[in-house]
Chains A and B, each alone.
Chain A
Amino acid sequence: MMMHNLISLTVWTPIIAGILVLLVGSGKNGGSSNGCSSTGCSFSECLARYVALIGSIISFIFSAIIFFKFDPAVSGIQFEEYHPWIENLHINYHMGVDGIAMPFLLLNNFITVLVILAGWRVIKYKVALYNSMFLIMTGFMSGVFGALDAILFYVFFEAMLIPMYLIIGVWGSSNRVYAAIKFFLYTLLGSLLMLVALIYLYYASNNSFEIFAYYHTPLKMVAQILIFIAFFFSFAVKVPMWPVHTWLPDAHPEAPTGGSIVLAAITLKIGGYGFLRFILPIVPDASRYLSGVMVTLSLIAIVYIGLVAIVQKDMKKLVAYSSISHMGFVTLGCFLFVGPLLNMWGLEGAIVQMISHGFVAAAMFMCIGVMYDRVHSRNIVDYGGVVTKMPIFAAFFMLFAMANSGLPGTSGFVGEFMVIMGAMQTNFVYAFLAGLALILGAAFSLWMYKRVIFGEITNSHVAEMKDVNGFEFVVLTLLAISVIWMGVYPDIFVAKMQVGVRDLIIQVSNSKLGG
């Protein structure tokens, strides 16, 4: 019985838990005598935290069950659920995962547990709202990865803007209002155009909102290109790709640590996932036709944004730019064609890169958050000599900085290496330019690390820093294990997605022009 509803359970558990958190935590503020002594907050806030943690752990367990029960040998959709939803518009509650979507479901729920833990001591303002917004957003994002009905997908896709808007706007730093509104409008522009494309496809596919029905809908080249552009706007903004990336460096620094983690680890992945789920299979001919453009944009992101990252003074901005550069590998890997065939290395590399970046970016933002909570500055110049005060932290940060620059043995290496391999098969110049990113990655990550962690203690704030506390240690350890595991034994993910990737390549190789 439960096996059939696993995806729904993964989606709705955090949402219901989030509503519960809002209800139990809306008591009056102020430290009452029976509050938990360790954090000095009221009883209701404390209860809210525990409900949030339990909710996130339960949904993580559900997603882990999906991960382990997933049969890697079977092609197509598993854990399928199908119920009519809005019958007169032919919209169904259709859920299920294939090998491409499934790893993201796990990643998403894993990161949420970390975010709830990371905010345990740090967040003291509107605690219940904070935790509930993250839980609700996790549910929506799981819905995005699980939805097989286009409108169901769209509802989750756009609904997650609401909690993210509040997270940036309420708990962000000085320029939060600007960042929140920019984030919201930017992403809304993309998604509204996608909505028009989805409705167009509904009529083109004889009144169906099933995503898989779109896969078999013949489309003329002009229509394909227009649909490509509409989808491109919505997913490229999310990724974000080079010309439409400008919201990210504004949103990240202003968001609270948890917001940055979720933004970098999951929200950006939804863009990459959209390329794999919508653009490539629905408009394969336009994808082939425009693959040169996409590769160029990706390479610009990798090289140019990598250079931009080096000169950043703000640590969070630096990691934000490095995220754009790393996500350039994802879009590069998605659009490597050899003749009519998509490149298997590139595609698998793109997915591995997304998951790896989920861990690494989360870890980088977590590290910066740990320092920010102590010094209240994100500027590199305000630091120096942190290692003498926080040796354990410095060790963790070293590992993540290495992973961020793509050191072999960490997860950062695997994805980038696979994409470069794929690029080599397509065009040597692509591979050469993409390879530059490994150098740039080392430059921006390690140079920042050197300035922040090593050297003399520059000011009194750094001198007063204390090493990581229990919660931070748990979070950083979990992330470190993930990063190394992905670096040493990526097969645990790759094996699960292989059949899904092969199906996608076959799907993309069929032209839809003939009808």
Chain B
Amino acid sequence: MMDMTTMNMNLITAIPEIFMAVMIVFMLLLDAFIDESKKSVNTILTILTLIGGYILQLIVFVPTQISMAFNGMFVLDGLAEGMKLFVYVFSIVVVLYIRQYINDKKFMKGEFYAIFLFAILGMQVMISANNLLILYIGLELFSLALIGLVALNRDSIRSTEAAMKYFILSALASGILLYGISFIFGATNELQLDAVFRSIYAANGQNSGMLVFGLVFIVAGLVFKLGLVPFHMWVPDVYEGASLPATTLIGTVSEIAGVVFIIRFLVGGLVLLSKEWAVMLSVVAFLSVFLGNIVAISQTNIKRLLGYSAIAHMGFIAFGLMTVSVNGISAVLFYVVSYVITALAGFGVLLALSEGGFECEKIEDLSGLSKSHPIYAGIMLLVMFSLAGIPPLVGFYAKFTILSALIEAGYIKSAVFAVIMALIGAFYYLRVVKVMYFDEKDIELRAANTGVISRGVLVVNGGLLLLIGIMPGNLMRFCSYLLTS
């Protein structure tokens, strides 16, 4: 065993996470003592926790320097810092969007927000993990919390079923991932990512059979978390079955952690095996883009539609990853950030239209929206065209950078395939616009009273799709800066 005195704890690097953990425990305790009428304090505490985490995160980071905690198991580099800041900001936006829904639906507020914060904490740990076991712990914390959020809507049969399905498949995927990790450990005798990397490099081709064998399981486990085909079965059911707040979290912020997880693990740690995993990812990318777009056409539930759309978009991300180039990976980061911004606005509109326990989830629910709520319709229009990748919206540049990376790496046929699938995808996004703008409805949808701040944030969020679309340079530069620093 290692001597405790030589261990380099360096707790400062992990202070934001420690702060969050303390706050969660505090909130759980507090919740037991306050009565029902004062539960809104939980919302405020959640936002304060996230803001506090954001500020601490800014303070602890030293630019151009990689800080390690817990003897190198926990890393804070540019990639982790940037992505964590994004996670904090997006989480605050999610809380603002779901606040009214939670109040109307009378979910157990204290528990909901505590579990919500646990999920965020899990993501942050995952983003910073530099050790396979820490990676695993972060992933499990975040997955289990998400399952809890889905199951919290306990009066609904669909939610319970979705939670069950998610739990079983997720547990299976975790097992597969762990199995793969054990092979890596067997071949290299290391769990620390940089040590694994060094060991593979030193072995110079020995043990490669065992490594590749482990790699198959690891890729399968990772691909499950991102919801790529053929491990996508849970995505549409969970998106549809979960209540809108849970779907919002699953469909937006949690994608970031999964992608950073893959970048750090495959591109950072196992780059020597890139030939093997790039082939696996390319198969997965082809299938996801194909299946996601084709099946989405026949959906009538907008949450389910967004689920399939998420599969297709993650397929695009897999296309970017398989290029294994700096341009490709920074394109992936740009893609995931812009996708999350877009999806957030979309879920924000759905949440704003879910008044008094009603769940706006059928596509027909949106019909005539341009007349009853022109601003929400306008935001949804921007979301749909951005997801379809039409300029001048941010989604176009996301697709553009991925295509550019693909062609640079010589995958021209993949690029052509991807754009044809994007064309098919445009059809179902257009259908949502069609319902909002071309159809009429007698009964007007009532908007929830989400408050000035939430509405303002939603409008800003929608405007950002256009603004980043007109000036995408800064976000792109930021993403490539995160990778190189």
Contacts and interface: CB of A to CB of B under 8 A. Distances in A.
A180 B407 contact: no
Given A177-B438, A199-B407, A161 B473 contact: no
B195 interface: no
A82 interface: no
B423 A185 contact: yes
A382 interface: no
Nearest to A181: B430
Interface in B384-443: 385, 390-392, 396-397, 400-401, 403-404, 407-408, 412, 415-416, 419-420, 422-423, 426-427, 430-431, 433-434, 437-438
B392 A192 contact: no
User: How would you classify the secondary structure of chain B's contact residues: helix, strand, loop or mixed?
Assistant: helix
A123 interface: no
12 contacts: A129-B370, A151-B400, A158-B390, A165-B433, A169-B433, A169-B437, A181-B430, A184-B430, A185-B430, A188-B423, A192-B420, A196-B407
A195 B400 contact: yes
Contact of A195 (B385, B419, B437): B419
Interface stretch (A84-92, A264-272, A357-365, A474-482): A84-92
A155 B396 contact: yes
Given A177-B438, A195-B419, A200-B412, A89 B407 contact: no
Given A166-B433, A195-B403, A196-B415, 12 more contacts: A88-B473, A89-B401, A129-B370, A169-B433, A169-B438, A170-B370, A177-B438, A180-B434, A196-B407, A199-B404, A199-B407, A203-B407
A47 interface: no
B480 interface: yes
Contacts, number: 88
A188 B401 contact: no
A87 to B, nearest CB: 6
Interface string A143-175: 000000001001100110110011001100000
Interface of A: 26, 85-89, 126, 129, 151, 154-155, 158-159, 161-162, 165-166, 169-170, 176-177, 180-181, 184-185, 188-189, 192-193, 195-196, 199-200, 202-203
B399 to A, nearest CB: 9
A90 to B, nearest CB: 11
A196 B473 contact: no
A203 B405 CA distance: 11
Contacts of A155: 391-392, 396
B444 to A, nearest CB: 14
A319 to B, nearest CB: 24
B30 to A, nearest CB: 44
B437 to A, nearest CB: 6
Contacts of B480: 88
Interface in B206-228: none
Contacts of B152: none
B319 to A, nearest CB: 13
Given A169-B434, A181-B430, A200-B412, A189 B423 contact: yes
B473 A86 contact: yes
Nearest to A143: B392
A267 to B, nearest CB: 16
A114 B133 CA distance: 69
A184 B426 contact: yes
A88 B426 contact: no
Q: Which of A88, A161, A177, A200 has the most CB of B within 10 A?
A: A88
Contacts of A199: 400, 403-404, 407, 415
Interface in B150-207: none
A159 B392 CA distance: 6
B390 A159 contact: yes
Contacts of B412: 196, 200
Interface of B: 370, 374, 385, 390-392, 396-397, 400-401, 403-404, 407-408, 412, 415-416, 419-420, 422-423, 426-427, 430-431, 433-434, 437-438, 472-473, 476-477, 480
A151 B472 CA distance: 13
A86 B392 CA distance: 13
User: How would you classify the secondary structure of chain A's contact residues: helix, strand, loop or mixed?
Assistant: helix
Nearest to B439: A177
Contacts of A203: 407-408
Nearest to A176: B438
A165 B430 contact: yes
Contact of A188 (B426, B437, B477): B426
A312 B209 CA distance: 70
Contacts of A196: 403, 407, 412, 415-416, 419
Q: Which of A181, A199, A200 has the most CB of B within 10 A?
A: A199
Contacts of A192: 419-420, 422-423
A126 B401 CA distance: 37
A159 B407 CA distance: 23
A4 B385 CA distance: 33
Contacts of A177: 434, 438
Contacts of A193: 416, 419
Contact of A158 (B391, B397, B404): B391
Contacts of B392: 155, 159
A165 to B, nearest CB: 7
Contacts of A129: 370
A203 B409 CA distance: 10
A162 B378 CA distance: 12
A188 B431 CA distance: 15
A86 B407 contact: no
Lowest 4 A-B CB distances belong to which pairs? A155-B391, A192-B419, A86-B473, A169-B438
Contacts of B434: 169, 177, 180-181
Contacts of A200: 407, 412
Given A86-B473, A154-B391, A181 B404 contact: no
A185 B419 contact: no
A88 B250 CA distance: 32
A237 to B, nearest CB: 12
Contacts of B420: 189, 192
A203 B415 CA distance: 14
A159 B391 contact: yes
A285 to B, nearest CB: 20
Contact of A185 (B415, B427, B433, B477): B427
A203 to B, nearest CB: 6
Nearest to B434: A177
Contacts of A202: 404
Given A158-B391, A176-B438, A89 B404 contact: yes
Contacts of B397: 86
B473 A85 contact: yes
A185 B426 contact: yes
A202 B480 CA distance: 20
Contacts of B390: 158-159, 161-162, 188
A400 to B, nearest CB: 31
Contact of B427 (A126, A165, A176, A181): A181
A170 to B, nearest CB: 6
A480 to B, nearest CB: 35
A197 B397 CA distance: 16
B207 to A, nearest CB: 38
Nearest to B481: A88
B476 A88 contact: yes
Contacts of A85: 473
A10 to B, nearest CB: 17
B314 to A, nearest CB: 20
Nearest to A140: B392
Nearest to B406: A199
A403 to B, nearest CB: 35
A247 B437 CA distance: 21
Contacts of A26: 374
B412 to A, nearest CB: 7
A125 to B, nearest CB: 10
B408 to A, nearest CB: 6
B113 to A, nearest CB: 36
B379 to A, nearest CB: 14
A172 to B, nearest CB: 9
Contacts of A166: 433, 437
